[in-house]
Amino acid sequence: MTLFSGPVFEMARQQFHIIADHLDIPLDERDRLLLPKRAIAVSCPIHMDDGRTAVFQGFRVQHHLTLGPAKGGTRFAANVDLGEIAALAVWMSWKCALAELPYGGAKGGVAVDPASLSKRELEALSRRYMQEMIPFVGPRVDIMAPDMGTNEQTMAWFMDTYSMYQGVTVPEIVTGKPVGTGGTLGRREATGHGVAFLAFRALERLQRDPTTATAIIQGFGNVGAHAALGLAARGVRIIGISDHTVALHDNAGFDVQQAVDHVARHGVLKGFADQAEVSAREALTLPCDVLAPCAVERVIDAEIAQALQCRIVAEGANGPTTPEADEVLAERGDVFVVPDILCNAGGVIVSYFEWVQDLQQYFWSRDEVMDRLERALERSWIKVVERAEKDEVATRTAAMAIGVERVRAAKMARGLFP
C-alpha cells in the first residue's frame, strides 16, 4: 500500500523495476530507492476577482535527499495529482544523478488551469502556494523551478514570497527566475537548446545531414518553442508544430520565429496557419527525421509507437513514451530514442548553474553558461550511448541505469540511519 497511485506513477514504478532487474537490485532494496522520501499536500485559498473564495489543491514531493537538496519544477495544470507529481520527482532523481548534479529529485504542482485565472489571481495563488511550502523547502532542502504552466514570473513571485518571510532576499530558493532578480542568462532557452543539441547528436550518429532533415515538435511552450528554434538554427526544417489548441503540418516548413511571435501575441498556436491543420495523431505519426514530444506524459503509447515514421524520438517532455511503447520500439529497432532524463536535462543543468551563481553572488556570461551546458550534455550523451552499446540495452535503460546506480551507491556508502 502506498500513497502514490495513478497511471503516471505506475509508469515510473514499471520503468524502475525494469532497471532494477537489469542491475540485479535485490527486492528488499527497491522500495528504499523508489518510494519518495516526503510528500506534502496543501489547500491554497485565494480571493477571486468576482469576490468568491476559491481553494486549489497543491502538492510537493521530495524523492530523495541523499546527494543534496531536492530539485524540481512546479506544474500548474488542471489534472495535477499526487501520483503524477511523485512520478515526476522520481524521474528528476535519475535525471540529476545522470548529469552528476548534487541533487535529489523533487516536483510540485497545483491543480489549476492557469489560463482560467486573471494575472492577479495567478499571483495570489503562486504566493499562497509558496507560503504553504515554506516549512517544507529551502535553498539547502528543496529548490523549485518552472514546469508546465509556470514561468519566470511565477518564480519571481515564489522568490519574493519566501524572501519576505525570511526578511532577506533569498534568490537561491528558486531557479528559472528573471535575470534581473538573480536568474541566470541562458535558463529560459536551456531545456529546448539541450533538446536541439542532442537531436543534432542523434542525427550525426545516424549520419543524417541536418540541412536536409525535418522535425515535428509536439508542444509549443518553453521547451517545444526553443527546441524548434534550436533545430531550425542548425538548418533542420520544422514541418510540424502543435499545442493543446491545434496541430499544424506543412512539408515546406514553418517560420518558427513567426510562430513564436504568434504565441506571444495570442497565447496559443491556433490561428497561426489554419490551412495546415492536421489531427493530433497525425502530428506524431507523419514522416520526419526528428519527432520531439515536448508537452505531456504518455503521448506515445504502443499503438502510436507502431505507427511512428520518424528516425529519432527526442524526448523534451518528461515521460512521453510508455513502457509498452518502449517494447514496441525495441522490437522495431529502427527508431533512435534520446530518453527524457538525458534529452531535457538542459533545464536542470542550467538551474544548477543558477543556484551556484546565486550562492556565490557571482554571475557568468551567457557564452560561459551555454558552453558549460553543452559540455555537460555531451558527457551524459557519451555515457548513455556507450552504456547502451556495452549492455546491449535501449538508451532509456542505459540512462536510467546510470542514474539509479549513482543514487544507490550514495545510499550504500552513507548507510542507513540510525
Beta bridge partners of 142: 70, 138
Closest to ligand NAD by CB, 147 vs 326, is 147
Which residue from 56, 162, 200, 220 is in contact with ligand NAD, where contact means CB under 6 A? 220
Judged by beta carbon, residue 217 or residue 393, the one nearer ligand NAD is: 217
Residue placing its CB nearer to ligand NAD in the complex, 146 or 240: 146
Identify the CA nearest to 217 among candidates 77, 316, 149.
316
Residue 32 or 244 with smaller CB distance to ligand NAD: 244
Tell me which residues in 342-361 interact with ligand NAD (CB under 6 A).
344, 347
Q: Which of 69, 210, 221, 403 binds ligand NAD (CB under 6 A)?
A: 221
Specify the stretch interacting with ligand NAD by CB under 6 A; choose among 48-56, 251-259, 310-318, 325-333.
Answer: 310-318
Q: Cell 495546415: give the residue.
A: 276
* Rounded CA separation 312/323 (Å): 17
230 belongs to the binding site for ligand NAD (CB under 6 A): no
User: Coil, helix or strand for 45?
Assistant: strand
Find where cell 545516424 sits. 206
In whole angstroms, the minimum distance from the beta carbon of 5 to ligand NAD comes to 20
Q: Which residue number is nearest to ligand NAD in terms of Cβ?
A: 221
Question: Which residues, 6+ apart, have CB-to-CB distance to 384 below 8 Å?
Answer: 98, 339, 342, 395, 398, 399, 402
Q: Least CB distance from residue 337 to ligand NAD, whole Å?
A: 16
Q: How many residues does the chain have?
A: 418
| Cα–Cα distance, 175 to 159 (Å, whole number) | 9
The candidate with the shortest Cα–Cα distance to 191, out of 386, 336, 377, is 377
Interface segment toward ligand NAD; rule CB under 6 A; list 202-210, 219-227, 357-365, 391-399: 219-227
Q: Is 107 a catalytic residue?
A: yes
Tell me: does residue 317 bind ligand NAD (CB under 6 A). yes
**Does residue 380 touch ligand NAD according to CB under 6 A?**
no
- 154 counts as binding ligand NAD under rule CB under 6 A: no
Shortest Cβ distance from residue 200 to ligand NAD (Å)? 18
Q: 268: which residues sit within 8 A by CB, 6+ positions away?
A: 243, 244, 245, 246
Catalytic residue among 71, 95, 107, 177: 107
Could you say which residues in the range 69-108 bind ligand NAD, by CB under 6 A? none
- Cα(318)–Cα(91) distance, integer angstroms: 8
Cβ proximity to ligand NAD: between 20 and 225 the closer is: 225
Check binding of 123 to ligand NAD (CB under 6 A): no
Q: Which of residues 249-308 bind ligand NAD (CB under 6 A)?
A: 280, 294-296
**Binding of residue 318 to ligand NAD (CB under 6 A):** yes
φ/ψ region of 361 (left if φ > 0, alpha if ψ in -120 to 50, else beta) reads left
Q: Within 267-322, where are the H helices?
A: 280-285, 302-307
Q: Give the 3-state secondary structure of residue 361.
A: coil
261 Cβ neighbours under 8 A, 6+ residues apart: none
CB atoms within 10 A of CB 166: 13
Binder among 146, 182, 186, 403 for ligand NAD (CB under 6 A): 146
Site for ligand NAD, rule CB under 6 A = 146-149, 191, 218-224, 242-244, 280, 294-296, 316-318, 344, 347
Q: Which residues are catalytic?
A: 107
